[in-house]
Structure 1
Amino acid sequence: MKRKRYLFTILAAMVFVVTFSAFASYQKRKNEPAFLDNHDFQRYQERWGLWVDFRAEKKSLLEKTVEFGADYDDVISLNAITEKEKKKLNRLVFIPYSREYSNSLQEAGSYREAIDTQIDQFIWPVLPNSKTRISSRIGRRWNTLHTGVDIAIPKNSIVLAAADGLVEVSGRSGDYGNAVKIYHNDLNHFHTVYGHNNVVLVKSGDFVKKGQIIALSGNTGKSTGPHVHFEVRYHNVYLNPENFLTPFEEGVATSMVSFAN
């Protein structure tokens, strides 16, 4: 009897330690900053680098790869570049940075950006600034239901993932134009949708992080001007995104973070 009680005490202590460790780990994650991709530091497949538009880039893929200190074959594989495309690229390609190149950017004054956010909260997919504004909210519009929030923004501006999640839809999607739909398993199984993009940078099956660049804004689909159409859904029920976010007009306070932090 004493032996059973002793073993039960040990088991209970082990469960307590595991539970406490998990809770402490959750609290640590909960208070960690979320990185916001900018024009110098961007992410894809959990790697830091930059999306380079070879429709306008004067250097070749090999030259840009060498410049960033990346491995050429790795870039080819990461972007699924075909033999035909190697001769003439006509799209955006993600090129990872080497540690040395990242350090050189920081020495020149360019850093990653971050905000304090809870892991169970969304962030705006477009950073509030002098060039952005909410042009339409959820509700009745033109005798139909407008299912999300429209954020007016210049074409080819960065569009960010509102939270960690799995990309379910990426590409042309009816009136939404070039759209991205993300499933947020850890956020009560919500979905978020980002419509009317000029270019989509992620593909179905990708796991994305909060604040990661997923597209460049545009005017595709049923749209009257460059903007991001942002939706929050729960089991295909359209919810007001503004109920899950800080007021857009208040803006977002960001901090600069180096790789040494």
Structure 2
Amino acid sequence: MFSVLGAILLVVSVSAFAAYQKKRNEPVYLDNHVFQRYQNYWGVWINFKTERKTLEEKVAELGSDWEDVIALNALSEKEKNAPKRFLFLPYGAEYAESLEKQGQFREAIESQIDQFIWPVLPNSRTKITSRIGRRWNSLHTGVDIAIPRESIVLAAADGVVEIAGRSGDYGNTVKIYHNEMNHFHTVYGHNTEVLVKAGDIVKKGQIIAFSGNTGKSTGPHVHFEVRYHNVYLNPENFLSPFEEGLNTSAVSVAKN
């Protein structure tokens, strides 16, 4: 009796461990300026404050499903004619495939479930301008990453959004709770636009904001923090050297 029960428990334990290892070893799909993700849809965020085409024209161009656009953006009847904010438009299958034919792909990296990634896609124009520590007779609580305005800001790990909006000197801010990572929090400050709301579940590598210069800031950058029970930790202790960036690989739209 006990040997049978023990064998069953062993099989269950091995299966659970194998499933966890598979999850740990799965590639992480990153958003970029072409392929972006929201609520399990792949598409793109468009700023209709500056977009010259109408919403109807963009929906037709991208092959989006109109009902999905309405639901994903909680679109009001009035906004259907002249929206004045960022909206997420999911790609139709044919449009996504056409992007791939043009050489536009999603990006993927190898990253274990218990690791953070940098919240930006480093390039020749990005650099760390300030690290954690004493600065101007006060404690600088994170890492400042200089980056052009309206660059994409990525979630550093899976989690749940706790704060999304204006937050004092941080300006437009996102704060994410990472329950699967020892209950850490990450904070992303000074954004020009926040694309998520409190309660949203986000995935590692998902776009959560566009960078900016809001709040107490001397220039466009992302202020990135890692916290543990409101203790400020050095984000660089959890990440690969910034100079190495993210070693991504191209991923076909047919894969997920």
Above 0.5 in TM-score?
yes
2: CA distance, partners of 1:157 / 1:252: 15
Aligned to 1:170: 164
Aligned to 2:86: 92
User: Is 1:53–2:47 an aligned residue pair?
Assistant: yes
Aligned to 1:113: 107
Q: Please give the per-residue CA displacement for 1:15-54, whole angstroms capped at 9, x wherever unaligned.
A: 1111111111111111111111011100001211110111
- Structure 2, unaligned stretches of length 5 or more? none
1: CA distance, partners of 2:50 / 2:145: 27
The partner residue of 1:135 within 129, 132, 139 is 129
Shift of 1:176: 0.3
User: Is 1:222–2:216 an aligned residue pair?
Assistant: yes
How many residues get paired? 255
2: CA distance, partners of 1:63 / 1:182: 35
The partner residue of 1:201 within 191, 195, 204 is 195
Letter in 1 for 2:81: K
Aligned to 1:245: 239
The 3 A distance-change label for structure 1 pair 86 and 26 is same
% identical aligned pairs: 71
Shift of 1:216: 0.4
**Given that residues 55 and 82 in structure 2 are in contact (C-alpha distance below 8 angstroms), is that contact kept between their aligned partners in structure 1?**
no
Aligned to 2:8: 14
Shift of 1:118: 1.1
| CA RMSD of superposed structures (Å) | 1.0
Between 181-190 and 246-255, report the one with greater CA deviation: 246-255
Shift of 1:251: 2.2
Letter in 2 for 1:197: N
3-state DSSP class of the match of 1:22? helix
Q: Please give the per-residue CA displacement for 1:179-212, whole angstroms capped at 9, x wherever unaligned.
A: 0000000000000000000000111111011000
Aligned to 2:95: 101
1: CA distance, partners of 2:94 / 2:12: 39
Q: Please give the per-residue CA displacement for 1:79-113, whole angstroms capped at 9, x wherever unaligned.
A: 01112222311111001112222111111211100
Between 54-63 and 213-222, report the one with greater CA deviation: 54-63
| 1:145-156 paired onto structure 2 within 5 Å | 145-156=139-150
Between 82-91 and 150-159, report the one with greater CA deviation: 82-91
Shift of 1:252: 2.0
Aligned to 2:35: 41
In our comparison, the structure showing a higher alpha carbon Rg is 1
2: CA distance, partners of 1:224 / 1:58: 31
Letter in 1 for 2:127: R
3-state DSSP class of the match of 2:192? strand
